[in-house]
Amino acid sequence: MYAPLIEETLIAAIKVVILLFGVVLPGASACVYFERKISAWIQQRIGPNRVGPLGLLQPIADVVKLLLKEDIVPAAADKKFHFLAPLISITIAVAVFAVIPFGNYVLIGNTYTYLSIAPHLNVSVLYVLALTSIGVYGITLAGWSSNNKYSLLGGLRSASQMISYELSMGLSLIGVLMIGGSLNLNELVIAQSGLKWNVFYQPLGFLIFMIASYAETNRSPFDLPEAEPELVGGYHTEYSGMKFGIFFLAEYANMIAASAMMVTFFFGGWQVPFLPEILGLHDGDLLLGLLQLGAFTAKVAVFLFIFIWVRWSLPRFRYDQLMNLGWKVLLPLALLNIAVTGTVMFFLK
Amino acid sequence: MNVTENIESQRLSFWEKIYLPEIVKGMALTLKQMFEPKMTRQYPEERFEPTGSYRGRPVLVLDESGERCVACGLCSRVCPAIAIEVQAAETEREKERFPVKFEINMLRCILCGFCEEVCPEEAIVMSKDYEMVFENREDGILGKDKLLVPIAQLQDRLEYLRSHQYYEH
């Protein structure tokens, strides 16, 4: 049996800390800031500009406000599960980051340091899909344990939405897996080297995956679980203070994870087009590692921008439209995509 | 039977039914909006300067010969919010009546401008002051000391009233 060395465990622990405090928290606060800024720009406003230069300290002010607020637990709520629900949400949201390859590897001395926590996990695609489905438990549990009919409806909607879109999401990835020939995210990225990005081979798969991702992260136009006009606040109606803040954080962490997945599966992950050949860099160079990290971050940022842009452009789907789209459109299209990809691959070989 | 069908699948054309072109159109619109000039006014730094037609805090006119008000009480009578209280007194001067007490309760005032409209002496007018902030309820009741404003500051409003009046005083 493979027993990890102490050094390896230590390096993994350091990576986890860097990930939490260097990626998830700053990423989420940047998302909050840009969510407010971009929504303001779209509505011809200026947005937050009072707290710090250009309003950059606004996310900190938001968090301080949430921390200082009274944490109200409804008398009729199931206290244990009410407490557990946000924890499940955030844990799942953060756990997805373990397999995301932020870059290939960097050779420091004689050790290969991969820019990912679990680079060798050979079922990382399944791991991601499994975790995103568990994520809904946090929301459903929050809705149920609040003992509030609106919260419950929000939780139920989240669960049904998840079931409707999970299938298409998984099926849309099969084409990518067939081309890449692996379930390991890093190897999938390596297979896309030389601008052979999957989005050029799998445009339909990308579209389905993107739509399903929006539904999975409960973002507009699929934000039915927290539809304000109908359900007050949806599953987080009865949450206040930092518990609400954690749901908020989990939503943004999910957004970042979903963007990272879209980049990894369809846009070449950490691949930097052309530049390494021009500069004459080799695998393992520190500069190349940093370039890959930068390219990955830039690509993810573009998708985060699209997430926010879509939210402030499109109206929310009606419930029956949501179900129609999930079952009658996306699912057959995903199956068609697999069939076409398989046929083409069979005849090209 | 007079039944009209209005089913989504019949109402929409093929391109509308597959959503995507419409979504792209909408997204292009919002992207364009992002580069439009901003509407926001940075309030404490950039202040709004109202014109003469603005109905701000009602004030009493103070001209060269003193206050114009003759304490007839019409404003108090017409006030729909019962915000004005006037107590009259007399002097030996030619214009013998004057208000010994004139209070406007700004917690009640709805800035309708009826008092200004009904005033026979053009003595109470609406000013341009829109910053009506009080730290306690007592401060919201304005006495004569806060209401009397020199006529020079109210020229815009007086000109506006004269050019828009419907009958001669």
What is the tens place of the pLDDT at every residue in B98-156? 889 999 999 999 999 899 889 888 899 999 988 888 899 989 899 888 888 888 888 88
Lowest mean pLDDT among A102-116, A210-224, A307-321, B25-39: A102-116
Q: Which of A38, A45, A314 sits opposite B40 (nearest CB)?
A: A45
Q: Does the residue A52 lie in any domain?
A: no
State the best of B38, B41, B45 to mutate against chain A, taking most chain A CBs within 10 Å. B38
Q: Does the residue A1 lie in any domain?
A: no
Distance from CA of A249 to the nearest CA of B (A): 26
Residue of B nearest to A42 (CA): B34
What average pLDDT does this structure show over A250-279?
Answer: 85
The model's confidence at residue B168, banded by pLDDT at 50, 70 and 90, is low
Q: Which of B23, B31, B38 sits opposite A314 (nearest CB)?
A: B23
In the predicted model, is pLDDT for residue B78 greater than 90? yes
In the predicted model, is pLDDT for residue B169 greater than 60? no
In the predicted model, is pLDDT for residue B80 greater than 90? yes
pLDDT of A4: 64
The model's confidence at residue A98, banded by pLDDT at 50, 70 and 90, is confident
In the predicted model, is pLDDT for residue A133 greater than 60? yes
Chain A environment of B33 (Cβ under 8 Å): 41-44
pLDDT of B105: 92
Residue in the block written with tokens 């109470």: B124
Averaged pLDDT of chain A: 84
Round to whole Å and give the CA distance between B169 and B167.
Answer: 6
User: Cα dist. A93→A133, A211, A243, B141 in Å?
Assistant: 11, 19, 15, 56
Determine whether the interchain pair A309/B27 forms a contact, defined as Cβ–Cβ distance below 8 Å: yes
A interface with B, Cβ–Cβ < 8 A, is 38, 41-46, 309-310, 312-314
Q: Which residue has the higher pLDDT, A192 or B168?
A: A192
The model's confidence at residue B59, banded by pLDDT at 50, 70 and 90, is very high
- Asked whether the beta carbons of A255 and A307 are under 8 A apart, the reply is yes
Q: Which of A45, A309, A313 sits opposite B38 (nearest CB)?
A: A45
Range of the domain at A236: 69-296+314-348
pLDDT of B103: 92
Q: Which of A41, A44, A314 sits opposite B26 (nearest CB)?
A: A314
In the predicted model, is pLDDT for residue A3 greater than 70? no
Q: Which residue has the higher pLDDT, A1 or A277?
A: A277
Q: Does the residue A37 lie in any domain?
A: no
pLDDT of B167: 58
Number of domains in chain A: 1
CA atoms within 13 A on the CB side of A223: 23
Determine whether the interchain pair B39/A42 forms a contact, defined as Cβ–Cβ distance below 8 Å: no
pLDDT of A47: 85
Q: Which of B30, B36, B38 sits opposite A309 (nearest CB)?
A: B30
B9 and chain A: CB distance < 8 Å anywhere? no
- Asked whether the beta carbons of A86 and A145 are under 8 A apart, the reply is no
What is the tens place of the pLDDT at every residue in A319-348? 888 888 888 888 999 999 999 988 988 888
Closest CA relative to residue B73, chosen from B63, B81, B65, B84: B84
What average pLDDT does this structure show over A300-309?
Answer: 91
Residue of A nearest to B19 (CA): A325
- Asked whether the beta carbons of A26 and A20 are under 8 A apart, the reply is no
The model's confidence at residue A305, banded by pLDDT at 50, 70 and 90, is very high
Determine whether the interchain pair B38/A310 forms a contact, defined as Cβ–Cβ distance below 8 Å: no
B7 and chain A: CB distance < 8 Å anywhere? no
Q: Which of A38, A44, A310 sits opposite B36 (nearest CB)?
A: A44
Round to whole Å and give the CA distance between A89 and A338.
Answer: 32
Round to whole Å and give the CA distance between B150 and B63.
Answer: 6
Q: Does the residue A22 lie in any domain?
A: no
In the predicted model, is pLDDT for residue A93 greater than 70? yes
Q: Does the residue A269 lie in any domain?
A: yes
B26 and chain A: CB distance < 8 Å anywhere? yes
Q: Does the residue A120 lie in any domain?
A: yes
Q: Which residue has the higher pLDDT, A283 or A128?
A: A128
**Judged by CB atoms within 8 Å, which residues 76-95 of B form the interface with A?**
none
Chain A environment of B30 (Cβ under 8 Å): 42, 309, 312-313
Q: What is the domain partition of chain B in residue ranges?
A: 58-164
Distance from CA of A42 to the nearest CA of B (A): 5
Q: Could you name the CATH architecture of B58-164?
A: 2-Layer Sandwich (3.30)
Q: Does the residue A51 lie in any domain?
A: no
The model's confidence at residue B87, banded by pLDDT at 50, 70 and 90, is very high
